[in-house]
Amino acid sequence: MLNITTFLDANSKRLSKDVFYCPERNTKYSSGEILSIISEIGRILKSKGINKGDRILIYLKNCPEYLFTILAGWRIGAVVIPTNRIFTKYELKYMVDNADAKLIVTDDDAKEEIDHLKIKSYIPKPEEIESYREKEVLPAETTDWDDLCQLQYTSGTTGKPKGSMLTHGNWFSAIHNETDVLSLKQNDVALIIYPMAHVGLSWAISALSCGALYIMMEQYNIDDYRRLCDEERVTVLAGMPPVIHTLTTHPEYAKQFNSVREIISGGGPLHKKIWKQFQHIYGIPVINAYGLSETIVIGTGTVIRPEDYYSADRFESVGHPVCFSEVKIVDPDDPNKEMEKYEQGEIALRGPAVATGYWKMPEATKKAFLDDGWFLTGDIGYVDQDNRLFITDRKKDMIVMSGWKIYPTEVEEVLIKHPSVEDIAVFSIDDCHRGELPVAAVIWKKDIYSDDKEEELKVELDKYAREELARYKVPRKYFTTSTLPRVNGWKLLRRELKEEYNIYADTN
């Protein structure tokens, strides 16, 4: 038997300390209290007809009830579907219908979004949750390694969202690997900011599993982030590229982070320039990790560890495979052909946290999940002579101009270094002669930009690009913008930029 929630049973018998803290409510919970709470929620779910294997969709804001519901669903052998509160009623309907969900766990504020779905709902009240702390423990449902426990829907940047089928065994592997990578101990304090609907929640569950104190933020903001880090003497800190970038622009914050042993980064490329600046100012090793929804982050993936820093001074790599994981680079057009060192190709991963496929999508499953266990990530990268992995782009973002392959992230890494550029995104617009053309949307630094200087800045950036890049990689146009579209503020949506600016495409 393997039910992933049984770490709470073990910890409740040996630890009385608090392991979960919600600062917005000034409320803390021990492992035993969490176990009692999820037991009662599990009983409520069962009373609403939810049995082993049934799907329940969670549509809550970031809050303790979200975490408790995930754990309660796993406890009774149900399959949880975490969703983001910003999803529209149409996105929710697709997931409810696709997964054949039997229940939505939500709150009173979501009435308009869920009324039309016509399925049962359960609203966990915070005041009721507090009364569950002393409830009798519900025995964990008998589940095995390959039993499904979660459908993690992808963001759906192309086509319909795909439900990655994750099992109790996948989660066991993810918890093992993240605990190992972070060297987590019960005296650690981990401030984790990733949304509950994202597989990045695995870092928080890993902290809970080893008895560390997990601090959640219902909503991220930099002031509370640094205050909590200072007041709670945080040792393990979750970040992402925009957060780390913000910190580099405020070196005066450094004294509030002097208890931090390491900071996690992932979910998007961390520019070399920003990573290097952060290391210089803060001296905190960045755990630069690579993984996907289909692998529960680094359940099967790669990572830079603190001990790698003596050989990671290029500030570009996402490191080596974690325990039990394998990585290789294959030809994007022929996954049976493995690429040589430094040759770019599609990244393939194999290991115990790889999802079992996509829910009700046999063709998509067949394309991505190969018979020999390798998962084709859709990401482009290469490995160096030390077997370290480098991410260069997404396969679907690759620009093909007259047969030339252009990787947008590679171009961005060069152009972001220009002193006038605050942020930049490279993407393609259609061209009737060459197929696609590389172009760029630029956010200029505020103290440099003005309307009358815009064309001059574009000329300067173009000159710089021609000096630093092969001619075919140089953007053909530059568009000034104030924002770039990102998922949850970090993962860049090039498709939206292409749709917005394709009006400038040459259609003659």
Q: Which of 413, 408, 419, 409 is nearest to 461 (CA)?
A: 419
Read off the pLDDT of residues 396-424 as tens digits, 9 standing for 90 and up. 787 878 667 787 888 998 899 999 999 99
- Reduced to 3 states (helix: H, G, I; strand: E, B; else coil), residue 107 is coil
Q: Which pairing describes strands 79-82 and 103-105: parallel, antiparallel, or unpaired?
A: unpaired
Note whether 25 and 64 are within 8 A (CB).
Answer: yes
pLDDT of residue 456: 94
Query: What span, in angstroms and rounded, lies between the C-alpha atoms of 148 and 259?
Result: 39
Task: Please report the pLDDT score of residue 62 as a whole number.
Answer: 94
Looking at the structure, do residues 496 and 449 belong to the same domain, yes or no?
yes
Cβ–Cβ under 8 Å, residues 392 and 409: yes
- In this structure, is residue 258 part of a structural domain? yes
In the β-sheet with 478-480, what is the strand arrangement from edge to edge?
421-431, 435-444, 478-480
Higher pLDDT, 6 or 332: 6
Residues 84-120: tens digit of each pLDDT: 887 878 788 999 999 999 999 999 988 778 888 889 9
User: Which residue range forms the structural domain that includes residue 373?
Assistant: 170-394
For residue 73, what is the enclosing H or E element?
helix 64-75
Q: Is the pLDDT at 507 greater than 50, yes or no?
A: no
Query: Are 319 and 461 part of one and the same domain?
Result: no
**Does residue 120 lie in a domain region?**
no
Whether residue 313 has pLDDT greater than 60: yes
CA distance 260 to 229: 8
Who wins on pLDDT, 278 or 413?
278
Taking the C-alpha atoms of residue 286 and residue 264, their distance in angstroms, rounded to an integer, is: 6
Q: Which of 394, 411, 430 is the last residue before a domain boundary?
A: 394
> Residues 201-210: pLDDT tens digits?
999 999 999 9
Q: Let me know whether 349 and 433 are in one domain.
A: no
pLDDT, tens only, 183-198: 999 999 999 999 899 8
Q: What is the CATH number of the domain that holds 498?
A: 3.30.300.30
Q: Looking at the predicted structure, is the pLDDT value of residue 159 above 80?
A: no
Helix (H, G, I), strand (E, B) or coil at 368: helix
Asked whether residue 37 is domain-assigned, the answer is no
Q: Are residues 388 and 334 in the same domain?
A: yes
According to the model, what pLDDT value does residue 403 have? 64
Residue bearing the bigger pLDDT, 123 or 434: 123
* Residues 321 and 452 occupy one common structural domain: no
Burial code (b: 16+ CB inside 10 Å, e: under 16) for 289-321 equals bbbbbbbbbbbbbbbbbbebeeebeebbbbbbb
DSSP-H helix ranges across 118-186: 126-131, 168-182
Mean pLDDT value across the chain: 91
CATH number at residue 239: 3.40.50.12780
Domain membership of residue 49 (yes or no) is no
According to the model, what pLDDT value does residue 158 have? 45
Choose the final residue of a domain: 350, 368, 394: 394
Domain count, the chain: 2
Q: Read off the pLDDT band of 156 (50, 70, 90).
A: very low
Taken as a whole, the chain contains a residue count of 508
The whole-angstrom separation of Cα 69 and Cα 60 is 10
CA angle 330, 334, 335 (to 5 degrees): 45
Question: Collapsing DSSP states into helix, strand and coil, what is residue 300?
Answer: strand
Cα dist from 416 to 304, 465, 487, whole Å: 23, 10, 20
- Shared-domain flag, residues 371 and 267: yes
Place of tokens 């979200």: 66
pLDDT band at 290 (very low <50, low <70, confident <90, very high): very high
Q: What integer is the mean pLDDT of 477-485?
A: 94
**The two structure tokens encoding residue 333:** 């057009």
Strands 79-82 and 55-58: parallel
- 432: in domain: yes
- Identify whether residues 187 and 327 lie together within a single domain: yes
Indicate whether 332 and 451 sit together in one domain.
Answer: no
More confident residue, 222 or 156: 222
Question: Sorting pLDDT into bands at 50, 70 and 90, what band is 144?
Answer: very high
> Domain for residue 491, yes or no?
yes
Q: Is residue 244 part of a domain?
A: yes
Q: Is residue 155 part of a domain?
A: no
pLDDT surpassing 60 at residue 332: yes
The Cα–Cα gap between 351 and 223 comes to 39
pLDDT tens figures, 249-263: 999 999 999 999 999
468 and 320 within one domain: no
Residue 508: predicted pLDDT: 39
Least confident interval from 160-174, 311-325, 455-469: 311-325
Maximal C-alpha separation, the chain: 73
When pLDDT is cut at 50, 70 and 90, the band that residue 431 belongs to is confident
From 368, 394, 420, the end of a domain falls on 394
User: What is the rounded distance in angstroms from the CA atom of residue 426 to the CA atom of residue 180?
Assistant: 36
Residues 325 and 402 in one domain: no
pLDDT recorded at residue 488: 56
Residue 462 has pLDDT above 60, yes or no: yes
Give me the pLDDT at residue 427, please.
Answer: 93
Q: Are residues 387 and 462 in the same domain?
A: no
CA 486, CA 315: separation in Å to the nearest integer? 23
Average pLDDT (381-390) is 93
Whether residues 370 and 346 share a domain: the answer is yes
Q: What are the tens digits of pLDDT across the range 33-91? A: 999 999 999 999 999 999 999 999 999 999 999 999 999 999 999 999 999 887 878 78
User: What pLDDT was estimated at residue 433?
Assistant: 61
